Amino acid sequence: MNAGEMLALRLLHALEPEQAHELAIRALQWGLFPMPRHVADERLRVDCCGLSFPNPLGMAAGFDKNARAVPALFNIGFGFVEVGTVTPLAQPGNPRPRLFRLREDEAVINRLGFNNAGQAAVRERLLRYARLPGRGVLGVNIGANKDSRDRIADYAQGARCFAGVADYLTVNISSPNTPGLRDLQGAEALHRLLAGVRGALEEKGRARLPVFVKIAPDMDEAVLADIVEAAVEGGAAGLIVSNTTIARPDTLKSPLKEETGGLSGLPLFVPSTRMLARAFLLAKGRLRLIGVGGVRDAETAWAKIRAGADLVQLLTAFVYRGPSLVAEILSGLLDRMERAGFNRLNEVVGTRAEEWAARKLPVE
């Protein structure tokens, strides 16, 4: 991280978190950010679900909810960017304050509640990005409105809306900030949801568009096994493991740790990576996995891949460490590949899955 980036982060962190986030998005929109070095290497390319990712590192949904900073995020060096969560109708989300920095823990708690500009506005922006030169893979994370009477219909509507502009879709059924949303993680409900989404894609002539299911880390092995089977049977391409957690580890130091909402960042790394490994072993090659939760450097990204992730995402670490983190992680992955004797990243995937799946949490 250079001096300019350090100063910019200090200024942003002096602001209220949601104000800082808005300012960061505007700076990216306007090109007012330091351009980090790019790391481009064929060994980092990942072919997954019929898509070719320039590198395995993506920006997770939640950072650019309304697709305002997509070109800048690709310019920073991300191999893929996932926007959203986007709902059919615009909604303001939950009352403020709803975003909290846990500095001592390198974590964030949010209870935003799917605040976004709605499908029409986001689709209009994405249409302008469709032919960006050299852009990576674009994902759209879709959700249901808080007051929806038919949530499955909302997801189907999202699939219709973004079928022609997204490279993949993510159905977000794991946010803890929309009451009742996680009920869709049940096997029967997930079957119906995926049937609705796949049907909508078939209507638009995009039956092969990859669909990922984003799941919560707060579930036991039996529920995870049911989700894996429902995802496979429902035609999902893969899982994103995982969303934020409602748990509050005893290790948290920040006085803000009791705020309600989803916890993200470093404290999520171990539980989400353990769940990732268990999903990998349960899926037995039938699903592709995106690992997210606590990725903050090359070592944590490398651990996700060895636990079973084909691709990794980050968000909270970007808030704390800035744009130069992307090149640092990609360079670090190349270094680790060379030291371990791997020529391609797909050779690394799942090589430590059993070890991670057996790992104990501090509370166990």
Q: Which of 175, 264, 272, 324 is catalytic?
A: 175
Active site residue 175: yes
Q: What is the pTM of this model?
A: 0.95
Q: What's the whole-number mean pLDDT along residues 253-260? A: 96
Q: What's the whole-number mean pLDDT along residues 104-133? A: 92
- DSSP one-letter code for 116: B
What is the tally of helices (H) and strands (E) in the chain?
12, 13
What are the tokens at 330?
Answer: 């990609």
Residues in CB range of 74: below 8 A, 6 or more apart = 81, 132, 134, 135, 136
The total of other beta-carbon atoms located within 10 Å of residue 170's CB is 29
The total of other beta-carbon atoms located within 10 Å of residue 26's CB is 12
Instruction: Give the residue from 67, 50, 58 showing the smallest Cα distance to 291.
Output: 58
Q: Amino acid identity of 100? A: F
**Phi/psi of residue 84, nearest 5 degrees:** 110, -170
Band (pLDDT 50/70/90 cuts) for residue 364 is: very low
pLDDT of residue 297: 98
Work out whether the CA dihedral 321, 267, 25, 138 comes out positive or negative: positive
Alpha carbon distance 351, 304 (integer Å) = 10
pLDDT of residue 353: 98
Each as own residue / partner, the long-range contacts of residues 27-31 (CB below 8 Å, 24 or more positions apart, any chain) are 28/68, 28/69, 28/72, 28/73, 29/68, 29/69, 29/72, 31/72
pLDDT at 260 over 60: yes
Residues in CB range of 274: below 8 A, 6 or more apart = 307, 356, 357, 359, 361
Average pLDDT of the chain to the nearest whole number: 93
Band (pLDDT 50/70/90 cuts) for residue 92 is: very high
pLDDT at 135 over 50: yes
The total of other beta-carbon atoms located within 10 Å of residue 295's CB is 32
Band (pLDDT 50/70/90 cuts) for residue 363 is: low
Per-residue pLDDT reduced to its tens digit, 318-341? 999 999 999 999 999 999 999 999
Q: What dihedral angle (degrees, nearest 10) is formed by the CA atoms of 145, 119, 175, 26?
A: -130
Band (pLDDT 50/70/90 cuts) for residue 1 is: low
Q: List beta partners, residue 289.
A: 239
Per-residue pLDDT reduced to its tens digit, 267-321? 999 999 999 999 999 999 999 999 999 999 999 999 999 999 999 999 999 999 9
With beta carbons less than 8 A apart as the criterion, state whether 53 and 42 touch: no
The total of other beta-carbon atoms located within 10 Å of residue 331's CB is 15
Q: List the domain boundaries for the chain.
A: 3-357
Instruction: Give the residue from 133, 129, 136 showing the smallest Cα distance to 53.
Output: 136
The total of other beta-carbon atoms located within 10 Å of residue 269's CB is 18
Q: Domain 3-357 maps to which CATH number in 3.40.50.1400, 2.70.170.10, 3.20.20.70, 3.40.1190.20?
A: 3.20.20.70
Give the pairing of strands 238-241 and 211-215: parallel
**Phi/psi of residue 4, nearest 5 degrees:** -65, -40
pLDDT at 74 over 50: yes
Band (pLDDT 50/70/90 cuts) for residue 10 is: confident
Q: What is the DSSP string of 226-287?
A: HHHHHHHHTT--EEEE---BS---TT---TTTTSSSEEEEGGGHHHHHHHHHHHHHHHTTSS
pLDDT at 193 over 70: yes
The three-class DSSP label of residue 171 is strand
